């Protein structure tokens, strides 16, 4: 990083606002700060910028929340990772505030922007039947000029099985989100598909594919990047955590009610008038799909003890009726009886939600309500949601500097992220949330069941 002077340095290469009346405004000299938000649970990017208006351009433009923002910002020496929205600009949609400044000689204006695709999504609907694999259906909707019509980069993971589905007059993104719940990867048969946008493009991919990628950086607490009397080591400064907090930590009651620990689904087949009950047990099914450490299975352990919680040897995952789902299908086994082709005798795959819903439900709750860390780091434009990072966390009240938290240290998935660019300090910082679905070490087994709890549990298990 020979060309970068300090961690968090950035270059604002373009910031141009084009109004609905065709007026072109160069904001590079007036913009104070701007933020860009990413979230793997959001279908689009969003953000806001603040600028100084000394020439009443808010009226003369005018700026009404119907403009296009051409934005390009980069980290020195990382030109290939520029956040570049000059070919496909953001769309403004709201003027948040206008505040007086300099005794009436200027005003501070904040404007919100988002991806143009989400604006278009809200304006159009899909009423159409599709006969194809889900990944190709998603690609078609995103590229179709009647629907989203995006030219952005797409990261679409292949799905298994040709499906025949009908979209009943839904907004395109609503339909794609529904398809994600039924998608099974053709690569490894996992059901954890996400539909989201990052600064790299639009993604329809499984969480497991994110886990499989190499980590993009190592982060730790401390001032290890500072050399006394010398210039700070910029590379090390990029790995320093500026602030840190545990954002969420395994709410047992919430995880029971959500079905993360145990759940069941009753699939009623209207074709042959039968039903099948499938169940999920967090402890027993923990290793069915790869987790955050992916190939290193020994590094993935449940975040709850596997010890019995009563005299019947029940674990936290044994109560599979904590949450129950009912789902109807029309299936002849390996084919969908609602859609057949007598000419070609081709049978389409039936809905396989019983094989995916319970695991998917548990996984998402693990990521949202499980082990989550919020931290601030020096910014770089090559960081985006969906990446994995290594986080080193020291033991509180540590005795030796090499003592690390054996449960919370490890590999994390970036789930939410805010790029903050400050034109006054010329500093780029990132506030991110990262989650993991396992501990590096297993919780020791033990038997600490109070007699009162044991007898109460036995009474309930009649």
Tens-digit pLDDT string for the chain (462 aa): 558 999 999 999 999 999 999 999 999 999 999 999 999 999 999 999 999 999 889 998 999 999 999 999 999 999 999 999 999 999 999 999 999 887 778 999 999 999 999 999 999 999 999 999 999 999 999 999 999 999 999 999 999 988 889 999 999 999 999 999 989 999 888 999 999 999 999 999 999 999 999 999 999 987 655 555 566 789 899 999 999 998 767 788 999 999 999 999 998 888 888 888 999 999 999 999 999 998 887 889 999 999 999 888 999 999 999 999 998 877 766 666 666 655 555 566 666 677 789 999 999 999 998 899 999 999 999 999 999 999 998 887 655 555 788 888 999 999 999 999 999 999 999 999 999 999 988 888 766 566 655 555 555 443
Closest CA to 266 of 253, 279, 255: 279
E-assigned strands of 259-366?
A: 262-269, 274-281, 324-329, 340-341, 346-347
Edge-to-edge order in the sheet of strand 274-281: 274-281, 262-269, 324-329
Q: Are residues 22 and 106 in the same domain?
A: yes
Residue 79 has a CB neighbour count (10 Å cut-off) of: 13
Domain span at residue 27 reads 11-114
Does residue 348 sit within a domain?
A: no
Does residue 219 sit within a domain?
A: no
Q: Are residues 25 and 94 in the same domain?
A: yes
Please give the Cα distance from 149 to 120 (Å, whole number): 9
Beta-carbon contacts of residue 396 (< 8 Å; ≥ 6 apart): 405
Does residue 251 sit within a domain?
A: no
Q: Are residues 99 and 158 in the same domain?
A: no
Helix (H, G, I), strand (E, B) or coil at 441: coil
Q: Are residues 134 and 204 in the same domain?
A: yes
Q: Are residues 151 and 189 in the same domain?
A: yes
What CATH number should be reported for the domain holding residue 76?
A: 2.30.110
How would DSSP label each residue in 217-274?
-EEESSSTT--TTS---HHHHHTBEEEEEEEEE--HHHHHHTTSSEEEEEEEETTTTE
How would DSSP label each residue in 196-215?
EEETTEEEEEEHHHHHTSPP
Does residue 177 sit within a domain?
A: yes
Q: Are residues 97 and 152 in the same domain?
A: no
Beta-carbon contacts of residue 183 (< 8 Å; ≥ 6 apart): 134, 135, 159, 191, 193, 206, 356
Q: Are residues 130 and 49 in the same domain?
A: no
How would DSSP label each residue in 110-159?
EEEEE-HHHHHHHH--EEEEEEEEHHHHHHHHHH-TTTT---S-EEE--B
Measured between its terminal Cα atoms, the distance across the chain in Å is 67
Does residue 405 sit within a domain?
A: no
Task: State how many domains the chain has.
Answer: 2
What CATH number should be reported for the domain holding residue 131?
A: 3.55.50.10
Q: Are residues 110 and 133 in the same domain?
A: no
Which of 210, 235, 263 is the last residue in one of the domains? 210
Q: Are residues 17 and 103 in the same domain?
A: yes
Which of 210, 229, 260 is the last residue in one of the domains? 210
Q: Are residues 138 and 155 in the same domain?
A: yes
Which of 174, 189, 210 is the last residue in one of the domains? 210
Q: Are residues 103 and 20 in the same domain?
A: yes
Does residue 280 sit within a domain?
A: no
Helix (H, G, I), strand (E, B) or coil at 397: coil
Does residue 260 sit within a domain?
A: no
What pLDDT does residue 170 have?
Answer: 97
Does residue 374 sit within a domain?
A: no
Q: Are residues 68 and 137 in the same domain?
A: no
> In the beta sheet, which residues pair with residue 328?
268
């Amino acid at each position: 990083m020979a060309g970068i002077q300090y961690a968090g340095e950035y270059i604002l290469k373009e910031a141009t606002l084009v109004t609905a009346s065709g007026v072109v405004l160069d904001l590079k000299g007036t913009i104070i700060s701007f933020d860009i938000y990413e979230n793997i649970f959001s279908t689009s990017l969003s953000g806001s910028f603040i600028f100084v208006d000394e020439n009443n351009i808010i009226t003369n433009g005018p700026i009404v929340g119907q403009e296009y923002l051409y934005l390009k910002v980069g980290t020195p020496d990382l030109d290939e990772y520029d956040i570049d929205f000059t070919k496909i600009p953001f769309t403004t949609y709201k003027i948040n505030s206008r505040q007086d400044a300099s005794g009436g000689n200027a005003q501070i204006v904040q404007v919100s922007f988002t991806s143009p695709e989400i604006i278009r999504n809200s304006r159009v609907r899909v009423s159409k039947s599709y006969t194809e694999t889900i990944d190709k259906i998603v690609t078609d909707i995103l590229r179709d000029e009647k629907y989203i019509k995006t030219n952005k980069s797409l990261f679409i993971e292949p799905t298994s099985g040709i499906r025949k589905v009908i979209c009943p007059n839904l907004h395109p993104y609503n339909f794609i989100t529904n398809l994600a719940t039924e998608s099974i990867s053709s690569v490894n048969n996992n059901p954890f598909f996400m539909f989201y946008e990052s600064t790299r493009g639009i993604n329809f991919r499984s969480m497991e594919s994110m886990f499989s990628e190499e980590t993009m950086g190592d982060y730790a607490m401390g001032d290890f990047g500072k050399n006394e009397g010398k210039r700070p080591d910029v590379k090390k400064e990029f790995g320093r955590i500026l602030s840190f907090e545990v954002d969420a930590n395994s709410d047992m009651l919430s995880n029971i009610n959500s079905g993360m620990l145990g759940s069941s689904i009753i699939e009623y087949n209207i074709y042959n008038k039968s039903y099948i009950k499938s169940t999920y047990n967090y402890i027993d099914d923990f290793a069915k799909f790869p987790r955050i450490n992916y190939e290193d299975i020994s590094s993935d352990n449940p975040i709850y003890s596997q010890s019995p919680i009563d005299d019947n040897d029940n674990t936290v995952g044994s109560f599979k009726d904590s949450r129950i789902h009912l789902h109807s299908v029309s299936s002849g086994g390996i084919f969908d009886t609602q859609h057949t082709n007598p000419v070609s005798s081709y049978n389409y795959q039936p809905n396989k939600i019983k094989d995916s819903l319970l695991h998917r439900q548990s996984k998402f709750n693990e990521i949202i309500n499980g082990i989550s860390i919020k931290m601030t780091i020096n910014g770089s434009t090559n960081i985006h949601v969906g990446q994995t990072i290594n986080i080193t966390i020291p033991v509180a009240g540590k005795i030796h500097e090499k003592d690390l938290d054996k449960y919370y240290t490890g590999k994390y998935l970036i789930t939410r992220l805010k790029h903050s660019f400050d034109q006054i300090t010329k500093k780029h910082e990132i506030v991110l949330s990262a989650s993991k679905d396992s501990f590096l070490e297993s919780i020791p087994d033990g038997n600490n069941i109070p007699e009162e709890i044991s007898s109460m549990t036995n009474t309930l298990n009649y």
